[in-house]
Structure formats: C-alpha cells, structure tokens
Amino acid sequence: MGLLSDLMEKIFPKNKPVDPKAAPGPVTVPEPAAVPKPAAVPEPGTVPESRPEAKPAVKPGDVKVEKKPEIIETEEKPVAEKITIGHVHMSGCTGCLVSLADNYEGLFTLLDNYADLNYCLTLADVRDIPKMDVALVEGSVCINDPHSVADIKKTRENATIVVALGSCAAYGNITRFSRGGQWNQPQHESYLPIGDLIDVDVYLPACPPSPESIKNVAVMAYLLLRGTDEQKELAAAYLKPLMDLAKRGTEACGCDLMFDVINQGLCMGCGTCVATCPVRAITMVYGKPNIDSDLCIKCGACYAQCPRSFFNFDVMNQFEAIGEAIDAAMGKGDE
Ligand code: SF4
Ligand code: SF4
C-alpha cells in the first residue's frame, strides 16, 4: 500500500473495529435444494382433481432477524490536553517542513496525541498568525519585505516558545549570501536570522534538522508544558543545550569549530562535524577536521553537533531517562 493510501486509510478508516464476539460466524454453504419432480401434466380436455396446495402465509414472528455486529467507538483523546504548534514559513526552501513530515507514523502519533498544528501556510487554511504554544520558524527574514518583518514580530507576541527551525532561521545559512536580483522578487536583497529581530528560545540548526530531532523537540515541548514535574525536568534537560545555542547568538560557521574546539585541543576526531556539514566543507586530515571556508555556507550545524563544542552534564546524566521518555511518548513501533 502506498504512503498516500496509508494516509487516507488513517484519516478516513473504511471499516470501524468490530467486536469479534458479535461478528458473524463462518459462512456455511447451504446444501443444494432438492429439485422438485415435475408435476404430472393432465391429459388435454380433462380437469385436474385438485388444485395445488397454497403455501401457508409467513407470520412476522417466523422472520428471523440476524443480529447486527456491534460497532465499537474508538476513544478520542481530549484535545484540550494537546499543545498548539505553528509552522511559520519565512525565507527558506521548505526543507525543514519536509524533514518534519519525514517522521511518517511518528508525525501521526504526534498530531493524534500531543499537538494540534494550528498554523502552517502549506498544510492549514489559517491566514493570520494565531496564539500558539510553540512556533517552529523556518527560514530567515527578508528585511526588505515589511510583511515578513511584521510576521516574525507577531510570532514572538503570540508564541510561548519560539524555535529557530533549521540553519536559515538560526544563522541565516545560504540566505546570508543573497544579493537580490532574484527573478520573482529582485528587490529582496537582505536577509537576517530571526534572532536578529526577536528573542528566540530554542535553536535547532542544521540544513535541514533531522526528522527525529524535530519530533523530539516537539515531544519535549509538550512534556515541558503539560508533563509531570519529573517529565518537565527531563524536557528542560533535553532542551537546555538548544536554549544555550539560542543565547550564543546568530553567527556561526566552521571557524567556531576551528577556534573553540580544534585549536583548543578538545577535538577527539570523531568525524561528526564531517558527517553533519551539508556542503562537505569539512574533511578529515590526519584525524582532525579541516574546514574549507570558501565552501562553508555558515549554517552552524558542525558546531551544534560536535560533542566537544559544549558539554551539558544535565543531558549526559539523564541521557537514558530522556531517551526512555521520548520512546514512551511515541510508543513502540512509531519510528
Ligand atoms: S563548515 Fe559546514 S557545517 Fe560547519 S558551518 Fe560551514 S557549512 Fe555549516
Ligand atoms: S565533531 Fe567535534 S570532536 Fe568530532 S571531529 Fe569534529 S570537531 Fe572534532
């Protein structure tokens, strides 16, 4: 079955679950009825002695009504417990939204149990930015466009938690290199990461962030806002490094990794930065990363993913509990 068929089956189930006890038993094929012998044909000109007997009328009590299978209504979780999440699209390529959708079944679990998507230009027919618990902002802000500037300010007013989703929102990424002159909007020539215009709570850099990391942030935001005290503590531990990134500022590039990690003798040669860089600006030379600054698009992903760029003992100490909380929230088999 294709993905679209799966999706339609999930949204519009053809068959509601049926109580197996009330379900009809196995179908039995009836014995073929005996073929009646043909009646004797009277001789022409003779009158038959008796008319064929009429069948007795069927009384209403004789009619057997088969018991209909009982329909079991599925339990619906109260929507009030969910948080609201909006996807605010500034100037970006939509790759972060595609990455969110790449969670497949995990996305359904998220939307079924934890979050209502109450704003998303691509997926929800809502024009004005509403109040929301979490705003996932994708893309940087074109400051030549007054609508974009107004939208990002309204997002900050209306959202409890603002997440810079992806490197364009966090650091500008490739939009930093825009000089205007694009075919459809030639006047747009200057783009800033959202942190230059509003306060941002959480950075989730990378180009794009992995589907799993977006899902984890959404689940942790839910636990932070609706969970027990213990879950709130775990969620805070998970989100703290990403909040620290937000405090660190809107500039990032391979040079940060060079100055803060490699030149400090902290690099352990794990190669995570090489695997993370979306434009392959980093290669390993003699077991240490070498960064080609001409290729670097300043997405900040290498710094964000390097295990030595910042240590967070809250995460280290509660690593297993955090993983178990996320797994429990998403249920087995959602990955
Ligand atoms: S080196 Fe690669 S991952 Fe690091 S900031 Fe530059 S482009 Fe991004
Ligand atoms: S991710 Fe960090 S520790 Fe790992 S190789 Fe790159 S700079 Fe070194």
Higher pLDDT, 3 or 189: 189
Q: Stretch 173-179: mean pLDDT, rounded?
A: 85
Name the percent of the chain lying above pLDDT 70. Answer: 74
- Model-level pTM? 0.71
Residue of 266, 267, 280, 296 to test ligand 2 pocket, by largest number of atoms within 8 Å of CB: 267
pLDDT digits (tens, 9 = 90+) for 90-107: 999 999 999 999 999 888
* Ligand 1 atom nearest to CA at 273: 3
pLDDT, residue 35, reads 47
* Separation of CA 42 and ligand 2 centre (Å): 107
pLDDT at 11 over 90: no
Q: What is the mean pLDDT of residues 259-277?
A: 92
Closest ligand 1 atom, residue 298 Cα:
5
Q: Quickly state the pLDDT bin for 206 (edges 50, 70, 90).
A: confident
226 vs 61, residue with greater confidence: 226
Distance 106 CA to ligand 1 centre (A): 29
Query: How much is the pLDDT for 220?
Result: 93
* pLDDT surpassing 70 at residue 130: yes
Ligand 1 close to Cβ of residue 298 (< 6 A): yes
Ligand 2 atom having least distance to the Cα of 309: 2
Please name which of 7, 1, 16 lies closest in space to residue 111, comparing C-alpha atoms: 7
Closest residue (by CA) to atom 7 of ligand 1? Answer: 296
Cα(169) to centroid(ligand 2), Å: 24
Q: What domains sit in the chain, N to C, each tagged with a CATH number?
A: 79-251+310-330 (3.40.50.700), 258-305 (3.30.70.20)
The dihedral over CA atoms of 226, 150, 96, 278, expressed in degrees to the nearest 10, equals -130
pLDDT tens digits, 279-294:
999 999 999 999 999 9
* 65 CA distance to ligand 1 middle (Å): 72
Distance in Å, CA 253 to ligand 1 centroid: 6
Residue predicted with more confidence, 265 or 54: 265
Take atom 2 of ligand 1 and give the residue whose Cα is closest.
277
139-175: pLDDT as tens digits? 999 999 999 999 999 999 999 999 999 999 999 988 8
Backbone torsion region of residue 88, taken as left when φ is above 0, otherwise alpha when ψ lies between -120 and 50, otherwise beta: beta
Say what the pLDDT of residue 311 is: 65
3-class SS letters over the chain: CCHHHHHHHHHCCCCCCECCCCCCCCCCCCCCCCCCCCCCCCCCCCCCCCCCCCCCCCCHHHCCCCCCCCECCCCCCCHHHCEEEEEEECECCCHHHHHHHCCCHHHHHHHHHCEEEEEECCCCCCCCCCCEEEEEEECEEECCCHHHHHHHHHHHHHEEEEEEECHHHHHCHHHHHCCCCCCCCCCCCCEECHHHCCCCCEEECCCCCCHHHHHHHHHHHHHHHHCCHHHHHHHHHHHHHHHHHHHHCCCCCHHHHHHHHHCCCCCCCCCHHHHHCCCCCEEEECCEEEECCCCCCCCCHHHHHCCCCCCCHHHHHCHHHHHHHHHHHHCCCCC
Mean pLDDT of the chain: 81
Q: Terminal CA-to-CA distance of the chain, rounded, Å? A: 18
100 lines ligand 1 (CB under 6 A): no
Return d(Cα 296, Cα 308) in angstroms, integer: 20
pLDDT of residue 146: 95
Q: What is the token pair recorded at 106?
A: 């995990």
Distance 231 CA to ligand 1 centre (A): 34
